[in-house]
Amino acid sequence: METISSAKNERVKSWKKLQTKKGREKTGAYLIEGFHLIDEAVKNQASILEVMISEDLKESATISLPEDKKVLISKEISKQLSETQTTQGIFAVVEKKDSSRIPILEKPYLFLDNVQDPGNLGTMIRTADAAGFGGVVLGKGTVDLYNNKVIRSMQGSHFHIPIFRDELTKWFDLFKNAGFPVYGTELNELAVSYRDIPPQAIFAVVMGNEGNGMDKKLLEKTTKNIYIPITGQAESLNVAIAAGILMFALTK
Protein backbone atom coordinates (compact mmCIF):
# COMPACT_ATOMS: atom_id res chain seq x y z
CA MET A 1 0.00 0.00 0.00
CA GLU A 2 1.29 3.44 -0.93
CA THR A 3 2.16 5.79 1.94
CA ILE A 4 1.87 9.57 1.98
CA SER A 5 3.31 11.42 4.93
CA SER A 6 3.79 14.98 3.70
CA ALA A 7 0.79 17.26 4.02
CA LYS A 8 2.21 19.20 1.06
CA ASN A 9 1.83 16.25 -1.27
CA GLU A 10 -0.26 17.10 -4.34
CA ARG A 11 -2.78 14.35 -3.62
CA VAL A 12 -3.35 15.65 -0.11
CA LYS A 13 -4.00 19.06 -1.63
CA SER A 14 -6.47 17.54 -4.09
CA TRP A 15 -8.34 15.80 -1.24
CA LYS A 16 -8.53 19.00 0.75
CA LYS A 17 -10.05 20.77 -2.23
CA LEU A 18 -12.99 18.40 -1.91
CA GLN A 19 -13.85 20.13 1.36
CA THR A 20 -15.13 23.06 -0.73
CA LYS A 21 -18.10 23.16 -3.07
CA LYS A 22 -15.91 24.57 -5.84
CA GLY A 23 -13.45 21.71 -5.52
CA ARG A 24 -16.22 19.14 -5.59
CA GLU A 25 -17.79 20.70 -8.65
CA LYS A 26 -14.50 20.81 -10.50
CA THR A 27 -13.70 17.14 -9.92
CA GLY A 28 -17.17 15.59 -9.65
CA ALA A 29 -16.11 13.83 -6.46
CA TYR A 30 -16.60 14.26 -2.71
CA LEU A 31 -15.17 13.08 0.60
CA ILE A 32 -16.72 10.72 3.09
CA GLU A 33 -15.35 9.89 6.53
CA GLY A 34 -15.68 6.98 8.94
CA PHE A 35 -16.35 3.24 8.74
CA HIS A 36 -20.12 3.48 8.61
CA LEU A 37 -20.24 5.70 5.53
CA ILE A 38 -17.51 3.79 3.72
CA ASP A 39 -19.36 0.51 4.45
CA GLU A 40 -22.53 2.06 3.06
CA ALA A 41 -20.68 3.24 -0.05
CA VAL A 42 -19.27 -0.25 -0.65
CA LYS A 43 -22.59 -2.00 0.04
CA ASN A 44 -24.43 0.30 -2.34
CA GLN A 45 -21.88 0.08 -5.15
CA ALA A 46 -20.90 3.73 -5.05
CA SER A 47 -17.88 4.50 -7.20
CA ILE A 48 -15.06 4.77 -4.65
CA LEU A 49 -11.95 6.30 -6.18
CA GLU A 50 -9.58 6.21 -3.21
CA VAL A 51 -9.57 5.19 0.45
CA MET A 52 -7.21 7.03 2.79
CA ILE A 53 -6.28 5.24 5.98
CA SER A 54 -4.46 6.84 8.89
CA GLU A 55 -1.25 5.04 9.88
CA ASP A 56 -2.48 4.65 13.46
CA LEU A 57 -5.56 2.74 12.32
CA LYS A 58 -5.24 -1.01 12.57
CA GLU A 59 -8.68 -2.22 11.55
CA SER A 60 -8.33 -1.17 7.91
CA ALA A 61 -8.39 -4.78 6.77
CA THR A 62 -12.15 -4.82 7.25
CA ILE A 63 -12.71 -2.58 4.23
CA SER A 64 -13.17 -4.89 1.24
CA LEU A 65 -11.63 -2.80 -1.53
CA PRO A 66 -8.77 -3.52 -3.94
CA GLU A 67 -5.37 -2.72 -2.41
CA ASP A 68 -4.48 -0.29 -5.21
CA LYS A 69 -7.25 2.04 -4.08
CA LYS A 70 -5.92 2.27 -0.55
CA VAL A 71 -3.43 4.90 0.58
CA LEU A 72 -1.79 5.04 3.98
CA ILE A 73 -1.63 8.60 5.38
CA SER A 74 0.08 10.19 8.36
CA LYS A 75 -1.88 11.13 11.48
CA GLU A 76 -1.27 14.78 10.59
CA ILE A 77 -2.90 14.42 7.16
CA SER A 78 -5.77 12.49 8.73
CA LYS A 79 -6.33 15.39 11.11
CA GLN A 80 -6.39 17.83 8.21
CA LEU A 81 -8.90 15.80 6.22
CA SER A 82 -11.23 15.23 9.15
CA GLU A 83 -14.21 17.47 9.76
CA THR A 84 -15.18 15.83 13.03
CA GLN A 85 -13.70 16.23 16.50
CA THR A 86 -12.96 12.57 17.03
CA THR A 87 -11.96 11.14 13.68
CA GLN A 88 -11.90 7.42 12.97
CA GLY A 89 -8.95 8.04 10.64
CA ILE A 90 -10.50 6.60 7.51
CA PHE A 91 -11.71 8.56 4.47
CA ALA A 92 -12.77 7.93 0.90
CA VAL A 93 -13.09 9.90 -2.29
CA VAL A 94 -16.39 8.99 -3.95
CA GLU A 95 -17.59 9.93 -7.40
CA LYS A 96 -20.73 12.09 -7.40
CA LYS A 97 -23.70 10.36 -8.90
CA ASP A 98 -26.38 12.77 -9.94
CA SER A 99 -29.79 11.31 -10.46
CA SER A 100 -31.33 12.74 -13.56
CA ARG A 101 -33.53 10.13 -15.16
CA ILE A 102 -37.15 10.89 -14.33
CA PRO A 103 -38.42 7.96 -12.27
CA ILE A 104 -41.62 5.95 -12.41
CA LEU A 105 -43.85 7.50 -9.75
CA GLU A 106 -44.68 4.74 -7.33
CA LYS A 107 -43.69 6.23 -3.99
CA PRO A 108 -43.97 9.59 -2.20
CA TYR A 109 -41.34 12.26 -2.86
CA LEU A 110 -39.90 15.07 -0.80
CA PHE A 111 -39.36 18.40 -2.58
CA LEU A 112 -37.04 20.95 -0.96
CA ASP A 113 -37.23 24.62 -1.87
CA ASN A 114 -34.26 26.75 -0.83
CA VAL A 115 -33.31 24.75 2.29
CA GLN A 116 -30.10 26.32 3.54
CA ASP A 117 -28.96 24.51 6.65
CA PRO A 118 -26.79 21.46 5.84
CA GLY A 119 -27.88 19.59 8.97
CA ASN A 120 -31.54 20.11 8.08
CA LEU A 121 -31.01 18.92 4.51
CA GLY A 122 -29.11 15.79 5.56
CA THR A 123 -31.59 14.91 8.28
CA MET A 124 -34.56 15.32 5.92
CA ILE A 125 -32.98 13.00 3.35
CA ARG A 126 -32.25 10.42 6.06
CA THR A 127 -35.87 10.69 7.26
CA ALA A 128 -37.24 10.40 3.70
CA ASP A 129 -35.19 7.23 3.32
CA ALA A 130 -36.52 5.86 6.63
CA ALA A 131 -40.12 6.69 5.69
CA GLY A 132 -39.81 4.74 2.44
CA PHE A 133 -39.86 7.74 0.12
CA GLY A 134 -38.95 7.24 -3.54
CA GLY A 135 -36.57 10.20 -3.73
CA VAL A 136 -35.83 13.80 -2.88
CA VAL A 137 -35.71 16.77 -5.26
CA LEU A 138 -33.48 19.71 -4.30
CA GLY A 139 -34.90 22.93 -5.74
CA LYS A 140 -33.28 26.29 -6.27
CA GLY A 141 -31.14 27.66 -3.44
CA THR A 142 -30.90 24.38 -1.58
CA VAL A 143 -27.45 23.77 -0.07
CA ASP A 144 -24.93 21.45 -1.81
CA LEU A 145 -25.73 17.77 -1.24
CA TYR A 146 -22.04 16.92 -0.89
CA ASN A 147 -21.27 19.47 1.85
CA ASN A 148 -19.63 17.51 4.67
CA LYS A 149 -22.33 18.34 7.21
CA VAL A 150 -25.00 17.15 4.80
CA ILE A 151 -23.02 13.94 4.19
CA ARG A 152 -22.70 13.35 7.92
CA SER A 153 -26.33 13.88 8.74
CA MET A 154 -27.57 11.78 5.78
CA GLN A 155 -25.74 8.77 7.28
CA GLY A 156 -25.55 7.13 3.87
CA SER A 157 -29.15 7.68 2.77
CA HIS A 158 -28.01 9.27 -0.51
CA PHE A 159 -26.72 5.81 -1.41
CA HIS A 160 -30.23 4.40 -0.87
CA ILE A 161 -32.59 6.78 -2.63
CA PRO A 162 -32.14 9.01 -5.68
CA ILE A 163 -31.54 12.71 -5.03
CA PHE A 164 -32.29 15.11 -7.88
CA ARG A 165 -31.25 18.73 -8.26
CA ASP A 166 -33.87 20.23 -10.51
CA GLU A 167 -36.53 22.86 -11.11
CA LEU A 168 -39.36 22.06 -8.71
CA THR A 169 -42.03 23.39 -11.09
CA LYS A 170 -41.13 20.58 -13.49
CA TRP A 171 -41.68 18.02 -10.73
CA PHE A 172 -44.92 19.69 -9.64
CA ASP A 173 -46.22 19.17 -13.18
CA LEU A 174 -44.99 15.60 -13.26
CA PHE A 175 -46.93 14.67 -10.13
CA LYS A 176 -50.02 16.71 -10.86
CA ASN A 177 -50.30 15.53 -14.46
CA ALA A 178 -50.15 11.95 -13.21
CA GLY A 179 -52.98 12.72 -10.78
CA PHE A 180 -50.92 12.77 -7.59
CA PRO A 181 -51.17 15.59 -5.03
CA VAL A 182 -48.36 18.04 -4.29
CA TYR A 183 -48.70 19.38 -0.74
CA GLY A 184 -47.24 22.74 0.10
CA THR A 185 -46.47 23.67 3.67
CA GLU A 186 -47.56 27.13 4.65
CA LEU A 187 -50.00 28.40 7.18
CA ASN A 188 -52.51 30.43 5.17
CA GLU A 189 -56.31 30.73 5.21
CA LEU A 190 -56.81 27.83 2.84
CA ALA A 191 -54.33 25.51 4.53
CA VAL A 192 -55.68 22.34 6.17
CA SER A 193 -54.28 20.44 9.13
CA TYR A 194 -52.11 17.49 8.12
CA ARG A 195 -54.26 15.40 10.45
CA ASP A 196 -57.13 15.80 7.99
CA ILE A 197 -55.16 14.39 5.05
CA PRO A 198 -55.61 10.64 4.70
CA PRO A 199 -52.38 8.63 4.34
CA GLN A 200 -51.67 7.69 0.73
CA ALA A 201 -49.21 5.83 -1.45
CA ILE A 202 -48.03 8.50 -3.89
CA PHE A 203 -47.75 12.24 -3.31
CA ALA A 204 -45.14 14.94 -2.94
CA VAL A 205 -44.64 17.23 0.03
CA VAL A 206 -42.66 20.46 -0.25
CA MET A 207 -40.61 21.96 2.59
CA GLY A 208 -39.42 25.54 2.26
CA ASN A 209 -36.66 27.81 3.45
CA GLU A 210 -35.97 27.90 7.21
CA GLY A 211 -36.77 31.57 7.57
CA ASN A 212 -39.00 32.46 4.66
CA GLY A 213 -40.89 29.29 3.88
CA MET A 214 -41.84 28.30 0.34
CA ASP A 215 -41.47 30.46 -2.72
CA LYS A 216 -44.75 32.25 -3.58
CA LYS A 217 -44.80 30.99 -7.15
CA LEU A 218 -44.50 27.40 -6.01
CA LEU A 219 -47.19 27.87 -3.36
CA GLU A 220 -49.65 28.88 -6.07
CA LYS A 221 -49.04 25.62 -7.88
CA THR A 222 -49.61 23.21 -4.97
CA THR A 223 -52.63 20.90 -4.86
CA LYS A 224 -53.26 21.89 -1.25
CA ASN A 225 -51.39 23.54 1.58
CA ILE A 226 -51.06 21.72 4.86
CA TYR A 227 -49.92 22.85 8.28
CA ILE A 228 -49.03 21.28 11.61
CA PRO A 229 -51.23 22.67 14.40
CA ILE A 230 -49.14 24.13 17.20
CA THR A 231 -50.86 23.85 20.57
CA GLY A 232 -48.07 25.28 22.74
CA GLN A 233 -46.35 28.65 22.66
CA ALA A 234 -43.54 27.85 20.20
CA GLU A 235 -43.88 29.99 17.10
CA SER A 236 -42.85 27.27 14.69
CA LEU A 237 -41.16 23.92 14.29
CA ASN A 238 -37.69 23.24 12.95
CA VAL A 239 -38.09 22.41 9.23
CA ALA A 240 -36.58 18.93 9.55
CA ILE A 241 -38.90 18.11 12.46
CA ALA A 242 -41.92 19.33 10.49
CA ALA A 243 -40.80 17.23 7.51
CA GLY A 244 -40.44 14.16 9.72
CA ILE A 245 -43.91 14.56 11.22
CA LEU A 246 -45.48 15.01 7.77
CA MET A 247 -43.59 12.22 6.01
CA PHE A 248 -44.55 9.66 8.63
CA ALA A 249 -48.13 10.87 9.02
CA LEU A 250 -48.91 11.00 5.30
CA THR A 251 -47.53 7.58 4.40
CA LYS A 252 -49.40 4.37 4.97
Sites of contact with its own copies (CB under 8 A): 119, 123, 126-133, 153, 155-157, 160-161, 228, 230-238, 240-242, 244-245, 248-249, 251
Euclidean distance between CA atoms 181 and 201, whole angstroms: 11
Euclidean distance between CA atoms 14 and 178, whole angstroms: 45
Q: By three-state DSSP, how is residue 73 classified?
A: strand
How many alpha carbons lie under 13 Å from residue 13 in its C-beta half-sphere?
3
Shortest distance, CB of residue 96 to its own copies, whole angstroms? 20
Strand order in the sheet with 163-165: 163-165, 135-138, 109-112, 204-207, 182-185, 224-227, 192-193
Shortest distance, CB of residue 190 to its own copies, whole angstroms? 22
Under 8 Å between Cβ of 145 and 138: yes
Shortest distance, CB of residue 245 to its own copies, whole angstroms? 5
- 1/230 with CB nearer its own copies: 230
- 74/123 with CB nearer its own copies: 123
- Residue 162 DSSP symbol: -
Shortest distance, CB of residue 92 to its own copies, whole angstroms? 19
- 4/249 with CB nearer its own copies: 249
Shortest distance, CB of residue 194 to its own copies, whole angstroms? 9
Shortest distance, CB of residue 136 to its own copies, whole angstroms? 12
- 66/232 with CB nearer its own copies: 232
Nearest to 237 by CA among 251, 227, 247: 227
- 179/211 with CB nearer its own copies: 211
Helix %, strand %, coil % for the chain, to 5?
Answer: 35, 20, 45
Q: Which amino acid is at 213?
A: G
**Dihedrals φ, ψ of 22, to 5°?**
-60, -45
- 91/159 with CB nearer its own copies: 159
